[in-house]
Chain A
Amino acid sequence: MRLGVVEDFEDFVRARGKALLRYGYVLTGNADDAADLVQEALLKLNGAWRRVRNKDNPESYVRTIMARQHVSWWRRRRREHVTDDVPEGSYTDDHTFGELWKELATLPRKQRVVLVLRYYEDLSDQEISDILGISRGTVRSQAFHALNALRVKPSVLERGRT
């Protein structure tokens, strides 16, 4: 019985691993943190596999954990490194992903997560608020400030998507 469950989990990882790593990569901005984040979330999923498989959608479970985990990691790390400076040379890296991608690295993590959920995951502000456990108003203000910093003109004003 237990063996069957483990196989199930491994099937899931094999089928969805690449997509989760992509999501982790846009959340964190680099390959190492992306792999760490996905593995952490998968570890949690593994522990809850039977319940999640029966009741929820494993993929959305894992993605929710990744979004939350990324914000809380950031909180912890920021306390450790009081000056959370943009690494030197971040602007001289190769230009493959464009200026916008590099500027995303200068955003506070929470703002970045909100943008990724909104523009990569294409979620509504209500869904983002549920995932991150913050109010819809906070989602909107985070998005507003992030877009402002990136000089992205919101098509819908700061009231955000519905």
Chain B
Amino acid sequence: MRTEEELTGALRAAAEHAPDESDLLAGVETLKHQRARRRVRTLAAAAAVVVVAVGGAGLRGALSIGGEGDVATTTTPVPFPEVTRTVTLDSRPEKAVPAAKLWPTAVLTVPTMNAEGMKYEPITGIGVTQVLLLASSLEGTRIEVYDAATKRARVVTTVPMKPTAVPPTVTADGKNVAWMSSGTKRGVSVREIWTAPLSGGKARPVATISGPPADIDALAINGDRIVWSERRGDVWSIPLSGGAAARIPTGRGLRLLRWPWASDAPAGPDSSVRGQSKVVDLTTGSTIKVVTRPGTQGLRCGPFWCFGHDETGALVQRIDGSNLRYLDDRGFWGRPAMAPILNRFVLRGSGIYDIATDRAAAIEGRWTAVAAGHPTIVYWEGGRGTFRVLNLAAVPPAQ
């Protein structure tokens, strides 16, 4: 994470590279003359306007959901399949049920701070009742696990960093946690990757990365390796036990999604309208092409499903362009671009849509947050001093 001061600094520094002002007055004069000429042209053109009707109103029909295995089955994309099944969820608002009612076992209550007054930030679900948390105060930073069943927290490890530094990016699998701390050294970005056993133990440094490759957008643990990707593209890995970091050859120019998948678009969530053209399996290098309909923006895909939007509103589709479903008719503003979480869930303004069951869960907090990194949890304001944490990995599978 960066600070607001860094942002102000970057803007101020860049402003110094503004163009020279010598031609401004001449430029204004030129514009003035161009405008006079354009007015004449516009009047002429107005007399010859041809109205082009745009076809392609959405076909509304029954929705069918196919089952899917663990392997992406589509390698030959079918461009714009003729029959599109479209469902407009907002025409059926009664379908949105409060998340705690729809998925009672997946919503946990977690305090916003620990007994010592350190502020909690939920990171990911660990098992059915446990949540991994980052705990921080001016005294220090820790990683803890809170068990909603026993209402107890335990310390996983202490994160060695200055309390004023930006919070680390944390990831975990069933056995280990890993995190990346950020800073600068003599004006150059530096990232340190650390790990500790999830069962508890001392933090251990794994790698230090500096310069341009330190601009890292995604971090994950895959068994005995830590995997990450650079924001400008390229996926790297390093043994948890330390050693040399190596580029993954199949991940050249790509950004890490959930292992083993990678994308040629940002991993998200982000606010760009940039789309994605492929999903790559880093273990084999096999590539699935994304079929993007004209007019679709910010389309981001996992191995099966994509989430994006067009002029009609937010949509999900299969990676081959089939099974288009409109979720709402809101514009793009404030909508994070990201692949469906766990190949199944997408964030809507008012909650979460489950592609697998075609159901929507409403979230009733004044604000909703998504965990950093590859999120599998969503959390919002609970009762006094608590978060409500929805662990999407704990949502029962579709029938």
Residues of chain A whose beta carbon lies under 8 Å from any beta carbon of chain B = 10, 13-14, 17-18, 20-26, 31-32, 34-35, 38-40, 42-43, 46, 78, 82-86, 91-92, 95-101, 103-104, 106-108, 110-111, 115-116, 119-120, 138, 141-142, 144-155, 158
Contacts and interface: CB of A to CB of B under 8 A. Distances in A.
Interface residues of B, number: 51
Contact of A149 (B4, B10, B13, B272): B272
A46 B8 contact: no
Interface in B13-35: 13-21, 23-25, 27-28, 31-32, 35
Interface string B231-270: 1110000000000000000000000000000000010011
Nearest to A134: B333
B294 interface: yes
B11 interface: yes
B10 A153 contact: no
A96 B23 contact: no
A10 B24 CA distance: 10
Contact of A39 (B28, B166, B189, B233): B28
Given A99-B189, A110-B333, A155-B4, A26 B272 contact: no
Given A39-B31, A111-B271, A149-B272, A91 B7 contact: no
A2 B190 CA distance: 59
Interface of B: 1-4, 6-8, 10-21, 23-25, 27-28, 31-32, 35, 166-167, 189, 212, 215, 231-233, 266, 269-275, 294-295, 297, 332-334, 336, 367
Contacts of B17: 25, 31, 96-97
B11 A152 contact: no
Given A46-B28, A108-B273, A31 B19 contact: yes
A10 B21 CA distance: 13
Given A13-B28, A43-B32, A154-B4, A84 B10 contact: no
Given A82-B294, A96-B17, A115-B7, 9 more contacts: A10-B25, A21-B24, A26-B18, A34-B18, A98-B13, A99-B212, A138-B333, A145-B271, A152-B2
Contact of B3 (A34, A104, A153): A153
Contacts of A155: 3-4
A108 B19 contact: no
B13 A119 contact: no
Contacts of B21: 17-18, 20-21
Contact of A152 (B7, B13, B332): B7
Nearest to A45: B28
A38 B272 contact: no
A75 B273 CA distance: 13
Contacts of B18: 18, 21-22, 24-26, 31, 34
A4 B152 CA distance: 77
Contacts of A95: 212
B11 A120 contact: yes
A95 B215 CA distance: 12
9 interchain residue pairs of minimum CB distance: A91-B232, A17-B21, A25-B18, A22-B15, A100-B10, A31-B19, A39-B27, A120-B11, A22-B18
B166 A153 contact: yes
Pick the most buried of A22, A146, A147: most chain B CB atoms within 10 A of its CB. A22
Nearest to A39: B27
A107 B295 contact: no
Contacts of A96: 17
A101 B271 contact: no
A13 B31 contact: no
A145 B269 CA distance: 10
